[in-house]
Structure 1
Amino acid sequence: MEETRFEIRIPCDDDGFILLRCPRCGELFKLTAEDMESNETLDIYCPSCGLCANNFLTQDVIGLALAKTSNYAMDAIAQQLQAFAKKNSSGLVRFEVKANREREPEPPIRAAIEALQIVTCHDCGREAKVPPALAMSAYTCPLCGIGQFNER
């Protein structure tokens, strides 16, 4: 079986940050694409609960990925069934395929407007966007995992 890859573009906000969501606590935060893809970034941490996870995708991204794969799979199945029906059309038993299913909608992902504040880590020096309540008190740096405290 051949391998198929889909590209899903996640839009950045005006400052170049991508929206992420913690799978454990649901906190929203943003990182730049450059920081996420950098070799310096070993793990990503939730700024609220400190969870280190493999997947911080939002529901919009997950929903689009599921719709794309469902549509691809159903189209591939329909093609295989039609090829089988065409190959076996001259025998005593006929096989007919009528594929008229509705495709899953694939809505584009929009850059969500969130009231997040840019913060700079005192340890790694990189920026992230976190909720204002975390920025004013304490948060975990999403890029290095070290706790940050407001010194004001």
Structure 2
Amino acid sequence: MNFQIPIPTDSEGFYSLRCPHCKGRFKAQAGDIDAEETIDLFCPSCGLMAESSNFTPPEIIEHATIIVKNYAQEQMFKAFKQSSKKLKGSGIKIKVTKPKEELPKILTEDENLEEITLICCDKTIKLDLDQIASVVYCPYCGVN
């Protein structure tokens, strides 16, 4: 079984990211993050590096977890429902009720971020105005 959950982007195609070290938030274009050569990222705020998957914010992980949970419950419901039909007339009775689906939390966009273009890698990211006023590290090559 193959089950994919798309990671949500903002209206301009940017992923929300959070540094696993300093917890600083920023956004990067989905195409740049999904590129095969993007394995590790540098935090634009603290400059520390980690695997790109470690920059996934907790609210997106929670969102995906709810989607997976709902899918698993639906698959189990279908399997038990089929089993209960096969057992009809055998004297064994199974009552199956559809599980209540949990709604994933609505992911909101952070409107206080400004786009900047990084000259070193010719890529665009979004940062908080406070971050732009200080030293900014390139998430792709680490140059400041």
Query: What TM-score do the two structures reach when normalised by structure 1?
Result: 0.76
In structure 1, give the amino acid aligned to 2:88.
Answer: S
User: What secondary structure is seen at the aligned counterpart in 1 of 2:54?
Assistant: coil
Structure 1, unmatched stretches of 5+, are none
Q: Does 1:64 align with 2:63?
A: yes
| Partner of residue 25, structure 1 | 22
Residue number in structure 2 paired with 1:134: 131
RMSD: 2.4
Specify the alignment match of 2:76 in structure 1: 77
Query: Radius of gyration: which is bigger?
Result: 1
Return the match for 2:142 from 126, 145, 149: 145
Question: Superposition pairs for residues 1-152 of structure 1, below 5 Å?
Answer: 3-8=1-6, 10-14=8-12, 16-49=13-46, 50-53=48-51, 54-92=53-91, 94-110=92-108, 112-146=109-143, 148=144
Would the aligned equivalents of 1:48 and 1:139 in 2 still touch at CA under 8 Å? yes
**Number of paired residues?**
142
Q: State the distance in 1 between where 2:63 and 2:42 align.
A: 24
Structure 1 CA distance for aligned equivalents of residues 107 and 7 of structure 2:
8
Greater mean alpha carbon deviation, residues 26-35 or residues 55-64 = 55-64
Alignment-mate amino acid for residue 107 of structure 2: I
Deviation per CA, 1:24-53, whole angstroms, max 9, x where unpaired? Answer: 322110111222233453422221232322
Deviates more, 1:120-129 or 1:61-70: 120-129
- CA shift, 1:105, in A, is 0.7
**Which residue identity lines up with residue 47 of structure 1 in the other structure?**
P
Instruction: Describe the SS at the equivalent of 1:29.
Output: strand
Task: Kindly provide the amino acid, as one letter, of the partner of residue 44 in structure 1.
Answer: L
2:84 corresponds to which letter in structure 1? Answer: A
Query: Secondary structure of the equivalent of 2:26?
Result: strand
Runs (5+) with no aligned partner, structure 2? none
Query: Do the aligned residues in 2 keep the contact of 1:41 with 1:144 (CA within 8 Å)?
Result: no
Q: How high is the sequence identity, in percent, across the aligned residues? A: 27
Higher relative helix content: 2
Q: Is the 8 A contact 1:117 1:130 kept in 2?
A: yes
